[in-house]
């Protein structure tokens, strides 16, 4: 059994769940890229794949992260190549795809499932779609990501497993192909597995709401923005949008964003403060 997740935080909690239930025994693999943002046109072709890597490289170079280290670490094509080879060599092996109710996981699923069509009957999906779980305080809640669930609750989630149907193997790759041809810069989950494309400025209003006309360190500002966002995306993408809005004179950035999160400060422009105040009233 090979488990697939789409977020780094999911790995540890799933491993703990496996320790509680030997029937889940198997290794955990991750699809790292966030296919909910960025270009995806011709993504399975060399040119489209390179275009996407170049886009991420450009964003990472503006951020405090190590560009070379991260671009080398994120090689989903190699991960899928190795996965398919293992499935071909061991005809009894199964893949369990775990995903939460969020655009990151669902877009990752679409990207992956389109490459596993020759393994029908051996691909299992566990989609925590609008399902209640018990949190650490004993209260019922509806998680959007796997890592929000306690390890022991995964034993309940395990019962949701089902094989990807022949119909899904036909329809889901077509849906992903459509999204790839549209090539919007942002993709959102509208319910079920329905993904809709949005413009690159989709998160801009959330960013502006998290800023004031007072200077804030980059780490504090980003933490505040992410903490208030109902629909979250990665900090690298948000920082890129900050840089774009600074170019548009909607906000200011002082310092070098590619050094460290505490090495730069951000604030709203005065005219933007008034606009944000009106929007929030």
> What integer pLDDT is reported at residue 151 of this predicted model?
87
Give the tens place of pLDDT for each residue, 122-134.
999 999 888 888 8
For residue 267, what are the β-bridge partners?
252
Ramachandran category for residue 188: left, alpha or beta (phi over 0 → left; psi -120 to 50 → alpha): beta
**C-alpha dist (Å) from residue 211 to 99, 243, 276:** 32, 14, 9
User: Pairing relation of β-strands 251-255 and 264-268?
Assistant: antiparallel
Q: For the purposes of burial, counting CB atoms within 10 Å of the CB of 62, is it exposed (0-12), middle (13-18) or buried (19 or more)? A: middle
Ramachandran category for residue 121: left, alpha or beta (phi over 0 → left; psi -120 to 50 → alpha): left
Q: Are residues 213 and 123 in the same domain?
A: no
Is residue 59 assigned to a domain? yes
Closest to 251 measured CA to CA, from 228, 267, 265: 267
The runs of H, that is alpha helices, within the chain are: 8-20, 46-61, 67-73, 76-89, 103-113, 154-157, 166-182, 204-209, 218-228, 235-247, 270-280
**How far is the C-alpha of 242 from the C-alpha of 236, rounded, in Å?**
10
Q: Which residues make Cβ contacts (< 8 Å) with residue 80, sequence separation at least 6? A: 31, 112, 115
> What integer pLDDT is reported at residue 52 of this predicted model?
95
Q: Are residues 36 and 175 in the same domain?
A: yes
For residue 191, what are the β-bridge partners?
194
Query: What CATH number corresponds to the domain at position 238?
Result: 1.10.10.10
Q: Are residues 31 and 156 in the same domain?
A: yes
> What integer pLDDT is reported at residue 171 of this predicted model?
97
Cβ–Cβ under 8 Å, residues 122 and 93: yes
Per-residue pLDDT of the chain (281 residues; tens, 9 = 90+): 999 999 999 999 999 999 998 888 999 999 999 999 999 999 999 999 999 999 999 999 999 987 777 777 678 999 999 999 999 999 999 999 999 999 999 999 999 999 999 999 999 999 988 888 888 888 899 989 999 998 888 888 888 899 999 999 999 999 999 999 999 999 999 989 999 999 999 999 999 999 999 999 999 999 999 999 989 999 999 999 999 999 999 999 999 998 999 999 999 987 655 555 545 55
The four Cα atoms 116, 119, 122, 125 give a dihedral, to 10 degrees, of 20
**How far is the C-alpha of 48 from the C-alpha of 52, rounded, in Å?**
6
Q: Are residues 115 and 26 in the same domain?
A: yes
Is residue 43 assigned to a domain? yes
> What integer pLDDT is reported at residue 274 of this predicted model?
53
Query: What CATH number corresponds to the domain at position 172?
Result: 3.40.1360.10
Q: Are residues 37 and 174 in the same domain?
A: yes
Domain holding 221, by residue range, is: 204-280
Q: Are residues 250 and 132 in the same domain?
A: no
């Amino acid at each position: 059994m090979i488990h697939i997740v789409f977020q780094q935080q999911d790995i540890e909690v799933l491993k703990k769940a496996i320790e509680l239930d030997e029937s889940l025994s198997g290794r955990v693999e991750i699809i790292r890229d966030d296919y909910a943002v960025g270009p995806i046109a011709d993504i399975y072709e060399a040119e489209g794949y390179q275009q996407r890597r170049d886009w991420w490289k450009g964003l990472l170079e503006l951020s405090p992260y190590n560009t070379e280290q991260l671009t080398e670490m994120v090689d989903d094509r190699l991960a899928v190549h190795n996965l398919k080879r293992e499935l071909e060599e061991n005809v009894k092996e199964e893949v369990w795809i775990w995903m939460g109710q969020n655009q990151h996981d669902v877009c990752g699923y679409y990207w992956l499932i389109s490459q596993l069509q020759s393994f029908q009957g051996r691909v299992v999906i566990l989609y925590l779609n609008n399902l209640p779980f018990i949190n650490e305080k004993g209260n019922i809640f509806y998680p959007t990501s796997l890592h929000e669930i306690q390890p022991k609750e995964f034993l309940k989630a395990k019962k949701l497993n089902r094989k990807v149907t022949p119909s899904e193997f036909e329809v889901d790759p077509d849906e992903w192909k459509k999204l790839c041809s549209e090539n919007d810069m942002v993709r959102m989950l509208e319910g079920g597995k329905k993904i809709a494309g949005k413009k690159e400025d989709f998160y801009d209003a959330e960013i502006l709401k998290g800023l004031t006309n007072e200077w804030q360190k980059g780490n504090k500002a980003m933490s505040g923005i992410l903490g208030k966002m109902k629909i979250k995306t990665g900090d690298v993408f948000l920082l890129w949008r900050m840089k774009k809005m600074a170019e548009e004179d909607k906000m200011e950035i002082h310092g070098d964003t590619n050094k460290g999160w505490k090495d730069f400060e951000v604030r709203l422009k005065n005219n933007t403060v008034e606009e944000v105040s009106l929007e929030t009233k």
